[in-house]
Amino acid sequence: MSLVRDAYERGRESAHYGFMRVSPFYGEKVLIRGKRVDITLMLNMFWYAGFDGEPYPEVPDALHPETSSVSIVERQSAQA
């Protein structure tokens, strides 16, 4: 399971059990290409989405862009 999916599921569980809406992540870092990268903000966003009952953002189908929910403007800005 990916780190963001785990954060999302933990947020859902926290809401289910009535925990406070406070993310448990602080100073979370991973090693990417030999550099330590802080991913706390990303994990927080997914934890809050899970806590708030938002749907998990699915990855657009790259083979069939016409069925993707991501707009063309977002795709172009993501490539830049």
Q: How many structural domains comprise the chain? A: 1
Q: What is the DSSP string of 17-55?
A: TT--S-----S-EEEETTEEEE-HHHHHHHHHHHHTTPP
What pLDDT shows up at residue 64? 53
Range of the domain at 16: 3-79
DSSP state of 63: T
What pLDDT shows up at residue 18? 87
What pLDDT shows up at residue 56? 86
Return per-residue pLDDT of the chain as tens, 80 residues.
688 899 999 999 999 988 888 889 899 999 989 999 999 999 999 999 999 999 887 766 555 555 545 444 444 444 44
What pLDDT shows up at residue 57? 76
